[in-house]
């Protein structure tokens, strides 16, 4: 079932709706993905998901099914580079299908210590802020990994990958924590400001996002968010419909067509 965020009205909470720590995945359909060094879509993937597995087995199962759907669609996954929780689960599943070259992670150096598997394959003798850390090999179950200097660089590079993607590229938000929420909000804002024109899907599993979606609806009702911007993010309750939802995505009428030289 696919419906607009705000169509259900109050009160509904819709969990982690953010790209980055939330879903940090990039759905990037690309028929020639093996020919390019980096993925072309961000699964917010820019679907972003949490670094924790969640309380219900349904979250992990959905993440794995999402990986399967990406693989079937010949899409690329861009994610936050973590090796734990939903974030690591979807990357590992996609690599095992196998589709190792279709997965690209970006992780800040400061977070390496929290992800032992990533630390084991990292290269610390480079002084470059952005560097390729690992090629796809038997020691890397999470695809390609790039270590960056800071959080903003991480999100910027993931966004750039999505912008390079073909039709249907966009951001998918799965359940997550504060980081996920922050990234979802940022991707929505960047869409509104004209920084990107890709779709944003909130994968509302187990009614996780109901509260957030209710807040969005309230913001529209109280005129803090205009009617022309209420459709920037779209709710999807069936993981099998996520890619179709991105393909059918329509830009909001209230979107600002600003020109940005850099972000």
**CA-based end-to-end distance of the chain:** 35
pLDDT, residue 2, reads 44
CA 62 – CA 168 distance, rounded (Å): 20
Residue among 247, 246, 251, 219 at smallest CA distance from 232: 251
Domain ranges of the chain: 2-247
pLDDT, residue 43, reads 53
| Residue 50 near residue 16, CB atoms below 8 Å | yes
Sign of CA dihedral 149, 20, 175, 30: negative
Measured between alpha carbons, how far is residue 179 from residues 14, 18, 31, 198 in Å? 15, 8, 31, 20
pLDDT, residue 197, reads 93
Low-confidence residues of the chain: pLDDT under 50: 1-27, 30-41, 45-50, 119-139
Count Cα neighbours of 216 within 13 Å in the Cβ-side half-sphere. Answer: 30
| Residue 232 near residue 191, CB atoms below 8 Å | yes
pLDDT, residue 141, reads 76
Q: Report phi then psi at 48, rounded to 5.
A: -95, 145
Please give the structure tokens belonging to residue 60.
């992990």
pLDDT, residue 251, reads 94
pLDDT, residue 203, reads 94
pLDDT, residue 154, reads 87
Burial 42-51 (b: 16+ CB within 10 A, else e): bbbbbbbbbb
As a dihedral over the C-alpha atoms of residue 194, residue 185, residue 31, residue 77, rounded to 10 degrees, the angle is: 150
Query: 3.40.50.300, 3.20.20.80, 3.30.365.10, 3.40.50.450: which CATH number matches 2-247?
Result: 3.40.50.450
Which tens digits make up the pLDDT trace of 89-135?
Answer: 888 888 888 776 788 888 888 877 665 555 444 444 344 444 444 44
Please give the structure tokens belonging to residue 179.
């980081």
DSSP 158-218: HHHHHHTS-TT-EEEE-S--HHHHHHHHHHHHHHHTTS---EEEEE-GGGTEHHHHHHHHH
Q: pTM score, two decimals?
A: 0.76
Place of tokens 């689960």: 89
Q: What three-state secondary structure class fits 132?
A: strand
Residue among 217, 144, 206 at smallest CA distance from 176: 206
């Amino acid at each position: 079932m696919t419906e607009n965020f705000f169509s259900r009205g109050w009160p509904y909470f819709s969990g982690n709706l953010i790209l980055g720590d939330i879903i940090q995945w990039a759905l990037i359909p690309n028929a020639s993905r093996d020919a390019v060094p980096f993925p072309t879509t961000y699964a917010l993937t820019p679907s972003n998901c949490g670094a924790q597995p969640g309380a219900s087995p349904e979250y992990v199962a959905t993440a794995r099914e999402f990986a399967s759907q990406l693989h079937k669609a010949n899409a690329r996954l861009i994610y936050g580079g973590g090796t734990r929780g939903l974030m690591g689960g979807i990357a590992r599943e996609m690599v095992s299908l196998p589709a190792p070259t279709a997965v690209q992670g970006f992780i800040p150096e400061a977070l390496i210590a929290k992800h032992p598997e990533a630390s084991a394959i990292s290269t610390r003798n480079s002084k470059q802020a952005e560097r390729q850390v690992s090629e796809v090999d038997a020691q890397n179950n999470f695809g390609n990994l790039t270590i960056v200097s800071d959080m903003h660089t991480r999100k910027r590079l993931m966004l750039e990958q999505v912008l390079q993607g073909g039709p249907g590229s966009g951001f998918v938000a799965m359940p997550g924590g504060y980081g996920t929420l922050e990234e979802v909000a940022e991707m929505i804002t960047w869409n509104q400001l004209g920084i990107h024109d890709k779709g944003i899907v909130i994968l509302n599993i187990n009614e996780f996002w109901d509260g957030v979606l209710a807040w969005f609806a309230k913001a529209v009702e109280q005129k803090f968010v205009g009617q022309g911007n209420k459709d920037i993010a779209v709710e999807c309750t069936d993981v099998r419909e996520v890619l179709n939802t991105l393909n059918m995505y329509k830009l909001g009428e209230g979107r600002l067509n600003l020109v940005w030289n850099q972000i």
